[in-house]
Amino acid sequence: MGKFRNVIAADAISEYSDYKPEVQGLGLFKRGVERWHADYSFRSAYEKDPAAALAAAGIGEIDPGDLDILLVSEKATQATAGEIPLPRICAEYRRFIKVKQKHAKQIRDASPSDDRYRRWRQRMVNSGVFSQGVAKFQKVVHAPFAIELCKGCTVNCWFCGVDAEQYDGYAPFDEENEKLWRGILRVFEKQMGRDFAEHGFCYWATEPFDNPDYEKFLDAFHDELGYLPQTTTAVPMRDPERTRQFLEFTKTRNSFVQRFSVTTRKDFERIHEYFDPEELLLVELIPQFENRASAKATAGRTRKLVLDRLDSGKKVPFEYDLESTGSIACVSGFLLNIPERYIRLITPCRATDQWPLGYRIIAQTTFESPDEVDAFVGDCIANRMPQSLEEGDPVGLLHPESTTLDVVDDTTLEIAGGGLRITMKGVDGAADFAERLRQGSDSLEQFVEARIDAGFDAMETLMVMNRIFRTGVLRDPDDWDQVRDRTVPLSITAIKA
């Protein structure tokens, strides 16, 4: 048998919210792919005897010849090239994956209606490449907001990337909270536009189903913004009938894919037993119980665990990276907690001592009314989303240890990091600029003065600096505390001249 593959290429594109499979049995076929991705003992059995392995897993109706086209590289390539026939079920599965990928891209490419927020968010999206690499960048949607409807979480996953607190109650969907909820959603619609605001979602360091009124909040969200936000639950089997009804409910609204975070192998089996394959067509199962299939970001509780084990000289039984930590944070916008009535402006970052949860808190306050949320959001957009560097702002690379500045010629500079290479043309004295940027400067003013002393034009220096700022490769003005605390180096990158 040939080499198996994890990435499934796709061809056709269609709209997501009205996606309907054009062949029967796609849910069952998806279950075969899902089983293969999550279950390594099934993989071994499948490699030896595909039909027997499928039958043993209770999905013997799947034709292994079809499944191979998704799982075996050579067959996939041959089918794509037309050298062997592409069965209809495989073509439909590819279309389905493409629609899902397009949906994620649409969220990432969506824009707030406010230009200041739009430019800031784009810079946060760009900086994600330098922080987390291109592959992860493609998965992070930089949603506009996340709203927690509980205080803490009951599930207590060992790997919790946002280190959720112990559960301590929920916000009921009573008259007061409904008024507040609808008011807040209208604020977001006003401040960032409906098309962007609809990509918010209603959990963070919380489990959606910990709130018995979760579905009511969601329905009001749909009412206000026209879209039912995605739900990820780690307890689909806590009350399977509720989950079933919830999935039915999502089909009656404008919605797309939901997700089950599957924390145990036992749950994986129970989910497959309880739900019909077609019921779960629009549900992604994330096999958290299998680290090989679902690598963990070294953020939050996972990072704590790694540090504790290293401190006590114990082995860490999974892959980790304390430098390029990854992050599960996916909001460049606002994080709210309804029971606690707080709101924060956040954006993803590598997990550090200062930001162990993999996101920066740029501003925060408490609120009692939608008007107060409105005032905070407006203030953040006006004052906490810098559009350019000011003269007193420090200048330096965000991740000097993994970013390189290559001088191509007298006026051309290349910035490379995270798998991305950006060419900056029209940089007078490119070698001088790169060297100064590599060293960093306590302020933009000092940087410009040094350039003037070296014979370069001040205005041109400022313009180049702000072009570079927009690429997301520089550390943000509000993010220098941890550097000053010497938890990360200012600048250590090498330059190739």
Taking CB under 6 A as the binding criterion, the range among 31-39, 71-79, 138-146, 152-160 that sits at the site for ligand SF4 is: 152-160
Query: Does the footprint of ligand SF4 cover residue 147 (CB under 6 A)?
Result: no
Interface with ligand SF4, residue 439, by CB under 6 A: no
CB of residue 232 vs ligand SF4: minimum separation in angstroms?
Answer: 8
Q: How far is the CB of 202 from ligand SF4 (least distance, A)?
A: 13
User: Checking phi first, is residue 358 left (phi over 0); if not, alpha (psi -120 to 50) or beta?
Assistant: left
78 binds ligand SF4 (CB under 6 A): no
**Residue reference for tokens 């040094």:** 450
Query: Alpha-carbon distance 291 to 308, whole Å?
Result: 19
Q: Which stretch binds ligand SF4 (CB under 6 A): 40-48, 102-110, 149-157, 341-349?
A: 149-157
Q: Does 184 bind ligand SF4 (CB under 6 A)?
A: no
Residue 294 engages ligand SF4 in binding (rule: CB under 6 A)? no
Sheet order of strands, 420-424 included: 420-424, 412-417, 403-409, 495-496
Query: How far is 460 from 184, CA to CA, in rounded Å?
Result: 43
The reply to whether 155 sits near ligand SF4 by the rule CB under 6 A is: yes
User: Given the complex with ligand SF4, which of 234 and 413 has the nearer CB atom?
Assistant: 234
Residue choice 68, 207, 267, 476 for contact with ligand SF4 (CB under 6 A): 207
Q: In what order do the strands lie in the sheet with 342-348?
A: 143-148, 331-337, 342-348, 359-366
| 299 touches ligand SF4 by CB under 6 A | no
- Measured CA to CA, the distance from residue 73 to residue 419 in angstroms comes to 24
* CA distance from start to end of the chain: 48
Stretch that binds ligand SF4, among 150-158, 172-180, 431-439, 462-470 (CB under 6 A): 150-158
Per DSSP, what are the bridge partners of residue 360? 347
Q: Which helix (H) or strand (E) element contains residue 346?
A: strand 342-348
- Buried-state track 107-121, b at ≥16 Cβ within 10 A, e below 16: bbebebebebbbbbb
Q: Are 210 and 153 in contact (CB under 8 A)?
A: yes
Q: Which residues contact 114 (CB under 8 A, 6 or more apart)?
A: 191, 192, 193, 381
| In the complex, least distance from residue 148 CB atom to ligand SF4, rounded to whole angstroms | 9
CB of 283 to ligand SF4, least distance (A): 16
- For ligand SF4, give the closer residue by CB, 301 or 360: 301
Element containing residue 333 per DSSP (H, E): strand 331-337
Identified binder of ligand SF4 from the candidate list 28, 157, 363, 450, rule CB under 6 A: 157
The residue among 160 and 282 lying less far from ligand SF4, judged by its C-beta, is: 160
160 binds ligand SF4 (CB under 6 A): yes
3-class secondary structure, 407: strand
Q: How far is the CB of 178 from ligand SF4 (least distance, A)?
A: 24
Residue with Cβ nearer ligand SF4 (206 or 325): 206
- Cα angle 95, 260, 251 (rounded to 5 degrees) comes to 60
Region of 45-53, 111-119, 156-164, 250-258 interacting with ligand SF4 (CB under 6 A):
156-164
SS3 243: helix
164 binds ligand SF4, rule: CB under 6 A = yes
Contact segment (CB under 6 A) with ligand SF4 among 29-37, 61-69, 157-165, 372-380 equals 157-165
Alpha helices in 39-174 (DSSP H): 40-48, 50-56, 64-71, 73-80, 88-109, 115-137
Find the shortest distance in angstroms from Cβ 365 to ligand SF4: 23
Q: Say whether residue 153 binds ligand SF4 (CB under 6 A).
A: yes
437 near ligand SF4, judged by CB under 6 A: no
User: With binding defined as CB under 6 A, does residue 62 bind ligand SF4?
Assistant: no
Dihedral sign for Cα atoms in the order 73, 271, 284, 262: negative
Site string for ligand SF4, 216-255 (x = CB under 6 A): ------------------x---------------------
- Total site size for ligand SF4, rule CB under 6 A: 10
Cα distances from 165 to residues 121, 205, 332, 361, 427, in angstroms, run 28, 8, 22, 17, 49
Contacts with ligand SF4, residue ranges (CB under 6 A): 153, 155-157, 160, 164, 205-207, 234
